[in-house]
Amino acid sequence: MKSLALALALLATAGSAAVLAPAAVAQEAAKPAWSTATTPLGDLIKNPETKAVLEKHIPGISTNPEVEPVLGLPLKQIQGYAPDRLPDDLLAAIDADLAKIPAAKPAT
């Protein structure tokens, strides 16, 4: 009897995990590939499409030597050091354009 209860408990747990897994995958897939909150500035500059978005909203950012020390930080984190130069509405506009760009394909 105990083994039947254990088997049922395991089946119930496995079933709920199977239901949760697709939801987690869908949630992960819904995240944008590029973001001012999570993607380091250097990565945005390295990709030609994302670099074009940056240049559209912050002309000269990819060639400005002053950004070199913060290339490893996302723009949202850099905003803490220069809120007047990177206001929320600017980051939102950049994110809107970045959301249109698919994730970079891994190098083969």
Q: Is the pLDDT of residue 16 over 80?
A: no
The H or E element containing residue 41 is: helix 41-46
The token duo for 54 is 């940056």
In this predicted structure, what is the pLDDT of residue 103?
86
- At 58-72, the pLDDT tens digits run 999 999 999 999 999
Q: Is the pLDDT of residue 14 over 80?
A: no
Q: Is the pLDDT of residue 84 over 60?
A: yes
State how far the Cα of 97 lies from the Cα of 78, in Å rounded to an integer.
19
Instruction: Spell out the domain ranges in the chain.
Output: 1-30, 41-98
pTM of the model: 0.69
Burial 65-97 (b: 16+ CB within 10 A, else e): eebeebeebbbbbbbeeeeeebeeeebeebbeb
